C-alpha cells in the first residue's frame, strides 16, 4: 500500500515537472469553473458599468467606447503575446496601456476597482465569450491584481465634477428645485444641497433613482381640503396656532406661500409621491453627479 502511494507521489511529481504550468492551471480551473466563474454575473456587471460606453450588440451605435460584440474574437490579436483574456483584463486594469484601433478617446481607469477578483474574472470570461468560445484555462490563469492607486474610493477627477455640474445645472435641471447655497428661501422647494458631500453616495443614488422611497417629513406633499370645496397642494413650511403656511402653487401656476386658516381646513391628505421625478441615468452620469455633489462642502461650487 505504502509503495503504491509513494509511486503515485512520484508520478504526480514527474507530471508536474514535465507538464508544469498546464497541469497546475487545469487543476485550478476545474473547481473554479464550477464555483467561481459566473457568466451571467459577468454580463450583469457589464450592463451596469460598461454599457453606458460600450454596446455589445452588432451594428448598434456604441457610446464613447468601441462596440464589443466580437471582442472575444479580436482581443487575442491586439497585442503580440497576449491571449484574449489577458488583453481584456489589461483593458480594464490599465486602459491607458493600449488604445483600441480607431478610438480617439481613452477609457477611464478604475471602472472595476471596487470589484473582487471573482467578479472581475467573470466579467472577463463574459467578454471573451462575445464572438468566441471561452478558453477556461486562460481565464483561470489570469493574475488579477487591481492597481493600488485605483483601490481608494471616492476620488473624483475635475472632469467628472464638471460633467456633473453640467448635468445638475443644465441637462437634467436639478437646479430648478435644489439650491447649492445656504441662503434665505433656498430650501423652499427641495432640500438645499450645499453640504451634499456629507450625504453617503448610496443614499444620493437612491434619492435620484427612486425619490419616493424616503421622503423627508418636511417635503411631504399634502392636499389641504377646505370647507368651501377648494383645495390647496403643497408642503407644510410652518404653522402657528391658527394658520398653516403651505408652499405650493397659486391658481396662476406660479409658486406661492398659502396662509390657510386652520379652522377652514377640513382635512390634509399626505401623498407618498415625491415632487422630485425619478431619474434613470447611466452609470457614468450617476458617477458624474456624485462627483459634483461630493465637491459641495458648504460654500458652493
Backbone angles phi, psi at 14, to 5 degrees: -65, -40
Residue with grid cell 478558453, as numbered in its chain: 135
* CB-based contact 195:297 (threshold 8 Å): yes
Radius of gyration for the alpha carbons in the chain, expressed in angstroms and rounded: 28
The nearer residue to ligand HEC, 26 or 169, going by C-beta atoms, is 169
For the record, the C-alpha cell of 98 comes out as: 493600449
> What are the C-alpha distances in Å from 149 to residues 114, 146, 154?
12, 9, 12
Closest distance of CB 197 from ligand HEC, Å? 11
Closest distance of CB 249 from ligand HEC, Å? 12
The nearer residue to ligand HEC, 77 or 230, going by C-beta atoms, is 77
Closest distance of CB 112 from ligand HEC, Å? 5
Closest distance of CB 124 from ligand HEC, Å? 8
The nearer residue to ligand HEC, 163 or 232, going by C-beta atoms, is 163
* CB-based contact 164:157 (threshold 8 Å): no
For the record, the C-alpha cell of 52 comes out as: 453606458
The nearer residue to ligand HEC, 140 or 167, going by C-beta atoms, is 167
> What are the C-alpha distances in Å from 168 to residues 176, 253, 292?
9, 24, 8
The nearer residue to ligand HEC, 13 or 159, going by C-beta atoms, is 159
The nearer residue to ligand HEC, 117 or 227, going by C-beta atoms, is 117
The nearer residue to ligand HEC, 131 or 265, going by C-beta atoms, is 131
In total, the chain counts a number of residues equal to 301
Closest distance of CB 262 from ligand HEC, Å? 24
Give the footprint of ligand HEC on this chain (CB under 6 A): 46, 49-50, 52-54, 64-66, 71, 78, 88, 91-92, 95, 99-100, 103, 105-108, 111-112, 123, 127, 168, 172-174, 176-178, 190-191, 199, 204, 207-208, 211, 215-216, 219, 274-276, 279, 284, 289
CA–CA separation, 30 and 199 (whole Å): 44
For the record, the C-alpha cell of 254 comes out as: 406660479
Closest distance of CB 237 from ligand HEC, Å? 12
Residue with grid cell 406661500, as numbered in its chain: 257
CA–CA separation, 122 and 180 (whole Å): 41
Closest CA to 73 of 18, 22, 135, 20: 135
Closest distance of CB 241 from ligand HEC, Å? 27
The nearer residue to ligand HEC, 191 or 234, going by C-beta atoms, is 191
Closest distance of CB 277 from ligand HEC, Å? 6
For the record, the C-alpha cell of 215 comes out as: 421622503
Most distant pair of Cα atoms in the chain: their distance: 102
Amino acid at each position: 500500500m505504502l509503495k503504491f502511494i509513494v509511486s503515485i507521489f512520484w508520478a504526480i511529481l514527474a507530471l508536474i515537472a514535465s507538464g508544469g504550468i498546464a497541469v497546475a492551471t487545469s487543476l485550478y480551473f476545474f473547481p473554479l469553473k464550477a464555483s467561481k466563474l459566473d457568466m451571467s454575473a459577468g454580463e450583469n456587471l457589464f450592463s451596469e458599468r460598461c454599457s453606458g460606453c460600450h454596446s455589445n450588440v452588432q451594428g448598434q451605435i456604441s457610446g464613447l467606447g468601441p462596440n464589443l460584440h466580437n471582442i472575444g474574437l479580436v482581443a487575442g490579436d491586439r497585442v503580440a503575446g497576449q491571449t484574449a483574456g489577458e488583453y481584456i483584463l489589461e483593458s480594464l486594469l490599465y486602459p491607458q496601456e493600449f488604445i483600441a484601433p480607431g478610438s480617439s478617446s481613452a477609457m477611464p481607469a478604475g471602472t472595476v476597482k471596487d470589484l473582487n477578483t471573482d467578479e472581475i474574472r467573470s466579467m472577463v470570461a463574459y467578454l471573451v465569450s462575445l464572438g468566441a468560445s471561452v478558453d477556461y484555462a486562460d481565464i483561470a490563469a489570469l493574475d488579477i491584481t487591481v492597481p493600488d492607486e485605483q483601490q481608494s474610493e471616492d476620488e473624483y477627477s475635475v472632469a467628472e465634477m464638471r460633467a456633473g455640474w453640467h448635468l445638475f445645472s443644465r441637462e437634467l435641471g436639478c437646479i430648478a428645485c435644489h439650491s447649492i447655497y445656504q441662503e434665505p428661501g433656498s430650501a423652499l422647494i427641495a432640500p438645499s444641497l450645499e453640504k451634499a458631500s456629507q450625504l453617503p453616495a448610496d443614499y444620493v443614488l437612491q434619492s435620484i433613482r427612486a425619490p419616493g422611497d424616503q421622503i423627508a417629513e418636511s417635503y411631504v406633499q399634502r392636499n389641504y381640503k377646505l370647507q368651501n370645496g377648494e383645495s390647496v397642494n403643497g408642503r407644510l413650511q410652518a404653522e402657528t396656532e391658527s394658520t398653516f403656511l403651505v408652499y405650493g402653487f397659486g391658481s396662476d401656476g406660479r409658486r406661492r406661500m398659502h396662509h390657510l386658516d386652520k379652522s377652514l381646513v377640513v382635512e390634509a391628505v399626505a401623498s407618498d409621491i415625491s415632487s422630485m421625478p425619478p431619474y434613470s441615468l447611466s452609470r457614468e452620469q450617476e458617477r458624474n453627479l456624485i462627483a459634483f455633489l461630493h465637491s459641495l462642502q458648504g460654500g458652493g461650487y
